Amino acid sequence: MTDKPKYNAEWKRLSDMPVPKWEPASIVLDNKMYVHGGYETGIISGKNLHVFDPEGSSHGTWEKLQDLPSDISHVNLAPGLTGFWFAGGMKDMDRPRGIKDHIVAEFWHFDPELDRYSAGPLLPGRRAGGGLVRLGDNLHYISGLMEDRDTDSGDHWVFNLKDWDKDQSAKWEKLAPLPNPRNQLSVTVLNENIYIIGGQYNHDSQQLDQNLVHIYDAKKDTWTAGPSLPYGHSHSEGATFTHKDRIWMVGGHTTPEGGTKGMCENVVTLVEGGEWEITFKLPIGISSPASKIINDKLYVAGGWDLRLLAQTPERDYWADRQVTSGDVWVTELPF
């Protein structure tokens, strides 16, 4: 894969998000993008849930929905029989007050029609930065960080949505573990197979981006290696998805071979049987935005683009000066 994009995107800046979010989760339901939790400026966990309607006005409209049950990040959103689910995550980070977030096993459903959350059975263990994805009538939770915030688990659990809807008898069951555990990975489904893309080793001691791709065959309960990324990559959890038989991964962190971790400005895509390509370049390199395609337009919202407050003796370290982006961008798809 060359560093040159296949297409030149013409990006248009829209009105800012009502609350900037870094590392939020996102999902599209009924042609609207839900943007969930994440870190707000100063690296403070948020409980805001907003929905973006691109048809609401010339620049789209944002609506605030019911607050999340707690301040949370490091989750994925997966569609249910109605609404969406999220599981695990990191709760209650407040860096200015010296409070570190902790990892949980909670499992929640959100119903947009009722604007209400309801709890499901806890994950079998506390996890964050793993992959929650729906395949058929099942939700799969794969890999992620364990309670110590640094050990990567290969655990793979499955939950049957129809059994839960019928009589709430469903419980988490074990399946084949991910062969190479990691966290802050991307997950999506392509042609009835689950793809685990990139991710990093560890979290608090170090953060080593990986170029690994693993593909899960649910019929055989087996994993195989997929086409590797051209560089180590993580932090695109809320910006990885499948659209028209093509996997899309937007922004994130990237570590080129022999290089250091930095912000990614690429929009990369993959079709089954192919290799990764750089489809677009973003207006700016950005970590952990929310991104989805609606009506053949690619939307990118939030994240962190290295903007910082001015350095002072009281705010010497970068994390004490972090400013989350509220930018929203859109471009037409070329195909």
- Give pLDDT tens digits for 160-170: 999 999 999 99
Give the domain extent around 130: 12-310+322-332
Is 316 a member of any domain?
A: no
Report pLDDT digits (tens) over 102-143.
Answer: 999 999 999 999 999 999 999 999 999 999 999 999 999 999
pLDDT tens for 261-291 read 899 999 999 999 999 999 999 999 999 999 9
d(C-alpha 106, C-alpha 86), whole Å: 8
- Quick one: residue 202, left, alpha or beta (phi over 0 = left, psi -120 to 50 = alpha)? left
Task: Give the chain's end-to-end CA distance (angstroms, integer).
Answer: 20
pLDDT band at 53 (very low <50, low <70, confident <90, very high): very high
The reply to whether 268 falls in a domain is: yes
What residues contact 306, with CB distance under 8 A and at least 6 apart? Answer: 263, 285
Residue 1 pLDDT greater than 80, yes or no: no
Given a contact cutoff of 8 angstroms between Cβ atoms, the answer to whether 142 and 122 are in contact is: no
C-alpha span between 122 and 151 (Å, rounded): 20
Residues pairing with 254 in the sheet:
233, 262
| Structural domain contains residue 92 | yes
Using DSSP's 3-state secondary structure scheme, residue 320 falls into helix
| CA–CA gap between residue 221 and residue 223 (Å, rounded) | 7
Residue 136 lies in a domain: yes
pLDDT at 279: 97
Exposure of 84 by Cβ count < 10 A (0-12 exposed, 13-18 middle, 19+ buried)? buried
**Is the predicted pLDDT of residue 256 greater than 90, yes or no?**
no
Per the rule left: phi > 0, alpha: psi between -120 and 50, beta: everything else, 60 is: left
d(CA 126, CA 74): 12
CA pair distance 73, 323, nearest whole angstrom: 16
Could you give phi then psi for residue 72, rounded to 5 degrees?
-150, 155
Is 2 within a domain? no
Say whether 238 sits in a helix, a strand or coil.
helix
Residue 36: pLDDT above 80? yes
8 Å CB contact between 97 and 80: no
243 contacts: CB under 8 Å, gap ≥ 6: 293
Spatial contact of 128 and 148, defined as CB atoms under 8 Å apart: no
Structure tokens at 69: 């049950």
Q: Which residue has the tokens 């190479």?
A: 180
Which residues, in sequence order, are CB contacts of 73 under 8 Å at separation 6+? 23, 24, 37, 38, 39, 45, 46, 89, 90, 93, 101
CA distance 88 to 144: 9
Residue 4 is assigned to a structural domain of this protein = no
Q: What CATH number is attached to the domain comprising 27?
A: 2.120.10.80
User: Is position 317 within any domain?
Assistant: no
Count of domains in the chain?
Answer: 1
172-229 confidence digits (pLDDT tens): 999 999 999 999 999 999 999 999 999 999 999 999 999 999 999 999 999 999 999 9
